[in-house]
Amino acid sequence: MAGSSFGTILKVTTFGESHGPAVGAVLDGFPAGMELSSSDIQVYLDRRRPGKTKIATPRNEADSVEILSGVFDGKTTGTPIGLLIRNTSQHSGDYDNLRDCYRPGHADFGYDAKYGFRDYRGGGRSSGRETTGRVAAGAIAAKFLKELGVRIIGYTSAIGPVKVSSLPGDEGFDEEAVLTTATAMPDSAKDAEARAYLETCMKEKDSSGGEITVVIRGVPAGIGDPVFDKLDARLSAALMSIGAVKAVEIGDGKSVSGTVGSKNNDPFRIAPDGKVITSSNHAGGILGGISTGMDIILRASVKPTPSIFREQETVTREGTDTSLTIKGRHDPVIVPRAAVVAETMCALTILDSMLLNMSAKTENILKFYGRI
């Protein structure tokens, strides 16, 4: 339980360091019978892959995934799916000056305090590269969710001051653009604006924060559990477990503190098709930890990349003040590549909760086992 496993029935365990031989994951509890090939996963990895654009680290890795187990005759077998991605483009020499001091805004000091030493090459386990395994595993969950009628879209909703407020389905929200723009923004004008802003940041040897929005559509009402495993609690942990995320919101999020009940409550109504809906969705699709059937809307605020090329004040492992200039290859903003990480973490969480939900009613269990 050193923290590299996630999930209850559907459980992912990741491994790997930025500059070790490989990163990867084991996905256990995935049900049997779904068609799966490495190309299903590769599509997601390519969205996370570095080196594609001017605003991403030039570390250029194919990040091609090998399925080591759990698939037979092109279908999942119900047994653990082992996923391996070799590291191929390490420039470990870039990190030699970090051996004896801590990068501000990074996990270096905490790891040293905890473990007594650390793999200082590219952050080791604390590197964003760790998320490769999650994306690979989450891609598999996302594929099955699609078959279950659940669609998850994660995108960049802000980079510094440049913000997108429209939601999927709204006019002006270009879903295609999420996959094609360098910023993963659903709006090519905003994308251009954000890229211009990032150019400025880079010129000033600085980096930018941003925001990821994830919209989950098609989750039936009744998913999630009471008390500690509320669906929003699990999704919060899922998103906050992504390095650099400093806030997680659901629905109206932070703004609820300033509002009143008569405005924040979503009235229930019967839709023309007889389904229960709410006529607004301030709640973001979850009430009391249980899904309502409305869109689940999450936002994660992401801090600026801590690796900037300015000289920064820091300390040495021996306990003296010093200054540091970071080398290496770093994204000026993490959000465009982190959006798919957020999306796949939500996929893992939602699928796990949907599997758990199958045993909520005695009636369904009796039916499953042919007793009624």
Hey, which residues between 173 and 232 contact its own copies (CB under 8 A)? 201, 204-211, 220-230, 232
Q: What is the nearest approach in angstroms of its own copies to the Cβ of residue 64?
A: 14
If the CB atoms of residues 153 and 158 are measured against its own copies, the closer one turns out to be 158
Site for its own copies, residues 323 to 352, rule: CB under 8 A: none
Site for its own copies, residues 245 to 284, rule: CB under 8 A: 246-270, 274, 276, 278-279, 282-284
**CA-to-CA separations, 276 to 149, 222, 294, 325, in angstroms, rounded:** 18, 12, 9, 57
Among 41, 136, 194, 287, binds its own copies (CB under 8 A): 287
Cα–chain center distance at 91: 26
Among 74, 203, 272, 321, binds its own copies (CB under 8 A): 321
If the CB atoms of residues 4 and 176 are measured against its own copies, the closer one turns out to be 4
If the CB atoms of residues 175 and 204 are measured against its own copies, the closer one turns out to be 204
Among 44, 47, 48, 124, binds its own copies (CB under 8 A): 124
If the CB atoms of residues 51 and 253 are measured against its own copies, the closer one turns out to be 253
Structure-token pair, residue 260:
């009143």
Among 89, 188, 240, 327, binds its own copies (CB under 8 A): 240
C-beta of residue 353 within 8 angstroms of C-beta of residue 223: yes
Q: Which residues contact 176 (CB under 8 A, 6 or more apart)?
A: none
- From 38-46, 51-59, 153-161, 168-176, give the range in contact with its own copies by CB under 8 A: 153-161
- From 39-47, 168-176, 187-195, 288-296, give the range in contact with its own copies by CB under 8 A: 288-296
The single-letter DSSP state of residue 318 is T
Encode 207-219: b = buried (16+ Cβ within 10 Å), e = exposed. bbbbbbbbbbbeb
C-beta of residue 259 within 8 angstroms of C-beta of residue 252: yes
- Residue span 78-117 as binding mask against its own copies, x where in contact by CB under 8 A, dash where not: xxxxx-x-----------------x-xxxxxxxxxxxxxx
Q: How far apart are CA 261 and CA 18, in angstroms?
A: 47
C-beta of residue 95 within 8 angstroms of C-beta of residue 121: yes
C-beta of residue 208 within 8 angstroms of C-beta of residue 333: yes
Q: Which sign does the torsion angle of CA 283, 6, 77, 139 carry?
A: positive
Q: What is the nearest approach in angstroms of its own copies to the Cβ of residue 169?
A: 22
Residue 361 is a binding residue for its own copies (CB under 8 A): yes
Site for its own copies, residues 41 to 60, rule: CB under 8 A: none
**How many C-beta atoms lie closer than 10 Å to residue 150's C-beta?**
22
User: What does R_g of the chain's alpha carbons equal in angstroms?
Assistant: 21
Q: What is the nearest approach in angstroms of its own copies to the Cβ of residue 283?
A: 7
Among 56, 153, 194, 308, binds its own copies (CB under 8 A): 308
Among 62, 167, 192, 315, binds its own copies (CB under 8 A): 315
